[in-house]
Structures are given as C-alpha cells and as structure tokens.
A = this chain, B = another copy of it.
Amino acid sequence: MDKISELRNLLNSRIAALELEKRKPVSLYEPMAYVLENNAKRIRPLMVLLAFGSVSELPENLCLDTALAVELLHNFTLIHDDIMDQAPVRRGKPTVHIRWNTDTAILSGDALFALTYPFLISAFPDKAAKLVHSFSSYVLEICEGQMLDMELPEKQQVTIHEYIEMIRQKTAVLLGGSLAIGAMAGGAEDWIVDEYYRIGEALGIGFQIQDDLLDAFGEPEKFGKQTGGDIIENKKTFLLIRAFEKANADEKIALNECLKISNSEEKVQKVLELFTKLGIKEETEQEVKKYFLLASEALENLPKEFTSEELKLFIQHIFFREH
C-alpha cells in the first residue's frame, strides 16, 4: 500500500497548505482547520485520485485539488450532521458545536462548503460544468439522506427498502460520487463514469450494512469500538428492521419487550438471541456480500485499461473488512 500512503501524504500536505488556521476571522477558520487536522483515512479523496489514475495517463497529483474538494465537502457534512445528531465526539475529539458553539459550527460548515467548488474545478475548467452538476447532485442527495435518517426514530414502520435508500443517499452516494468525479476529471467516457459511480455506491451500501452487522456481532478488538451500542439505543438498523419484518406475532411481542429492558448487558444478549433465532446474522452477511460482489464484478467488467491494481487493492483493504 505504498502508493496509497504516498497519496495520503500528498493530500495531508495539500490540506496543511491551505493554512486555514491563519485566515481571518480566526473564529470562522479555526474550526475548519480543526476538523481537517486529524488522522482521517481520507477514503473519499483517495477514491477520487485512484479513479483518476485508473482512467488517465496523467499523474494523480493533477487531480489533487479536485480530491481535496471532496474531502472538504465530506467534513462540511460531518460538522453539520454532528449538530443535528447532537454528537459530542468525532474521531476522539469534541465536535465543533461542543468545542465552540452551534452558531460557529453552522457558519464554519457553510464556509467549508463554499470553499469546495473552486477546488473541484480548478484543474479542469473545460469540465467545470459537468463536475459542478454531478457534485451538486451528490450534495442534494446527502441532504435528503440526512433528513430521512433524522426522521427514522419517529417513524412507526420503516421498510428495509426505505432503510437502504436512506443509507444509499446519506453515505453511498458520496463514495460513488468520489469514484465518478475522479473518472470524470480523468476524461473517461460517460458509461465508464457511470460504472465507477455504481461501484462506489454498492461499496457504500455494503459497508454501511456491514457496520450495522459488526455493531451487533463483531469482535470489539477488530471492530475498534464496543459492540451492542445500536441495540442499547434501539437504533433502527438493517438487523432490527429485518427482524421485525421476519418475526411472527409472538416474536414481535418478544422483540418489543426486549427493547424495553433497562439493563444494557441483558438487553444486548436477549436481542442477539432473537436475531440469531430469526436468522438475521446470516441474512445480513448475505446482503453485505451481495453488494460487495456487485462492486467487484462491475470493477472486473471494466476494460483493463480503465482500472488499476492500486484501486482494486485499496477497495479490498478498506471495504472488505473481516468480521
């Protein structure tokens, strides 16, 4: 993964070169610098660069500012999402609205978003219209997905179709978009750009469902955080929604009883037992595999001259986690 580290370093240097912390008013730019200076994996901008490198003979660093735009956009959505989700911590640090305040988080997020577009197109003025149109449509879908996500807890009944549509818009669109933007900047034909989009989108949906799975059945050491959190919070995950869909009348009553248990340990154990009884674990594993297979096959089906080993390895490494 030497190439990946090299590109990640390039991205981190580019971000540092923005010198956001030196701009005025400090109160506006400091929070922007704060969210960007971290040990983030830079997954999305790396996907931009790797897709660009896959379809083009040109060196990846030509596409660096375009990749940067995607990372800035992603961090803008994190700042605003964290306000709405009342999240106190992100990547081990207090979130912007906690460290400063909500007004600052709103405004610094807006400014971060305003910064993105010039970077998106700076190296590709002749493709500006196309890049801007695609990029904006992704942002709109992310907003739609976030709204659906916020409405989830209040909704009486959520179908698995609605749930997948929500994670598609909220998360998968930008992963698809990252590959598509890179391919577009690299001058790929429309059908190749579309194919790249679909690969990233499938990876994103698979990844999110896998996240739900690992939160319930993962090994904490490998997952990187304590499991069972979603169950304790009664979060409507792929697993819980499917469990309600599959349960018979008695099992539905039992599941609803489980959700009311106040002892966390007991609650997690009981819910997991019901999930197991209903075959939810296996079904979810199948669903994850389905999306990852979709992505792998689409990638294999692309003409060899429009894919790269680096991209394949990166996808393998980031998305196909063990569990």
Q: Does A80 contact B (CB under 8 A)?
A: yes
Q: Does A146 contact B (CB under 8 A)?
A: yes
Contact present for A84 and B110 (CB under 8 Å): no
Which among A121-129, A260-268, A287-295 touches the partner chain?
Answer: A121-129
- Residues of A116-153 contacting chain B, CB below 8 A: 117-118, 121-122, 125, 128-129, 132-133, 135-137, 139-140, 143-144, 146-148, 150-151
Given the complex of chains A and B, what is the CA–CA distance between A125 and B146 in angstroms? 30
Contact present for B117 and A136 (CB under 8 Å): yes
User: Which of B27, B125, B144 has a CB less than 8 Å from the CB of A147?
Assistant: B27
Given the complex of chains A and B, what is the CA–CA distance between A115 and B135 in angstroms? 10
Which residues of the partner chain B approach A80 to less than 8 Å between Cβ atoms?
106-107, 110
Contact present for A107 and B147 (CB under 8 Å): yes
- Residues of A234-249 contacting chain B, CB below 8 A: none
Chain B min CB distance to A174 (Å): 12
Which residues of the partner chain B approach A102 to less than 8 Å between Cβ atoms?
102
Per DSSP, chain A at the interface is helix
- Residues of A61-83 contacting chain B, CB below 8 A: 80, 83
Given contacts A106-B83, A151-B27, contact A117 B143 (CB under 8 A): no
Q: How many copies does the complex hold?
A: 2
Given the complex of chains A and B, what is the CA–CA distance between A104 and B107 in angstroms? 15
1/0 per residue, CB under 8 A from B, across A18-53: the answer is 000000110110000000000000000000000000
Contact present for B121 and A128 (CB under 8 Å): yes
Chain B min CB distance to A280 (Å): 28
Give the A interface residue count (CB, 8 A): 39
Given contacts A107-B84, A110-B143, A128-B125, contact A117 B117 (CB under 8 A): yes
- Residues of A92-125 contacting chain B, CB below 8 A: 102-104, 106-107, 109-111, 113-115, 117-118, 121-122, 125
Given contacts A80-B106, A103-B84, contact A121 B132 (CB under 8 A): yes
Given the complex of chains A and B, what is the CA–CA distance between A151 and B26 in angstroms? 11
Contact present for A118 and B132 (CB under 8 Å): yes
Contact present for B132 and A103 (CB under 8 Å): no
**Which residue of A27, A104, A129, A135 has the most chain B CB atoms within 10 A of its CB atom?**
A129
Given contacts A27-B147, A103-B83, A128-B121, contact A113 B111 (CB under 8 A): no
Which residues of the partner chain B approach A103 to less than 8 Å between Cβ atoms?
83-84, 150
Contact present for B148 and A25 (CB under 8 Å): yes
Q: Would you mind naming 29 contact pairs between A and B with Cβ atoms under 8 Å apart?
A: A24-B144, A25-B144, A25-B148, A25-B151, A27-B151, A28-B147, A80-B106, A84-B103, A84-B106, A84-B107, A102-B102, A103-B150, A104-B147, A106-B106, A107-B147, A109-B110, A110-B139, A110-B143, A111-B143, A113-B113, A113-B114, A114-B136, A115-B140, A117-B136, A121-B132, A125-B128, A128-B128, A128-B129, A132-B132
